[in-house]
Amino acid sequence: MGKAVLKSTDPVFRAMITALRARGSLETRPLNPLTSNPQRFRPMPTDFSTIDLATLNAAQGVMVAALHNQVCQWEQDSADAAAGGNLSAASMIQHWAFAADLLSATISTEFTNLFSQALTARFGDLTPTTHRSVADQVLDAVALEVAASQKVPELVAV
């Protein structure tokens, strides 16, 4: 026997929703909680030249490492569940691990894109020229960033 599927245009569905609302049993809330109160959240700055590249690298490393650790944990949990004969749970946990691994790659890619946008905003378009490759230009840009973050040594009179 199949399950009944109710669509929002179905009169039975609408009657059930109306009855639940009348009893106070149905709570309605916005679909996207981030946009329900836009004053709570600040938009990301559009001036990418002010983004600290070292912070971007550190954030990327922390997030990717945390996800990688969770993937390893879930893979172990999946292997344990399979060894215990619970193949359904093992499969589900393995899917979680795969999704987290995919998310880790996506986060890494997005951080790399943001890093590239910040470099472009600071140093202009980094396209290869006859004199210098993009890799050389990026290396120079990163060297400038590192140099800018270093403290200036104090001069001591002898």
Q: Output the CA–CA distances (angstroms, integers) from residue 67 to 13, 43, 57, 95, in the order listed.
A: 40, 25, 16, 14
Q: In this structure, how many other beta carbons lie within 10 angstroms of the beta carbon of residue 16?
A: 13
Q: Is residue 32 part of a domain?
A: no
Range of the domain at 56: 52-147
Q: Is residue 11 part of a domain?
A: no
Q: Is residue 74 part of a domain?
A: yes
Q: Is residue 40 part of a domain?
A: no
Q: Is residue 118 part of a domain?
A: yes
User: How confident is the model over 82-96, as pLDDT tens digits?
Assistant: 999 999 999 999 999
Q: Is residue 4 part of a domain?
A: no
Higher pLDDT, 14 or 58: 58
Q: Is residue 43 part of a domain?
A: no
Would you call 93 exposed, middle or buried from its count of C-beta atoms within 10 A (0-12, 13-18, 19+)?
A: buried
Q: Is residue 157 part of a domain?
A: no
Q: Output the CA–CA distances (angstroms, integers) from residue 15 to 21, 23, 99, in the order listed.
A: 10, 12, 38
* Tally of domains in the chain: 1
User: How confident is the model over 71-126, as pLDDT tens digits?
Assistant: 999 999 999 999 999 999 999 999 999 999 999 999 988 888 888 888 777 777 65
pLDDT band at residue 1, thresholds of 50, 70 and 90? very low
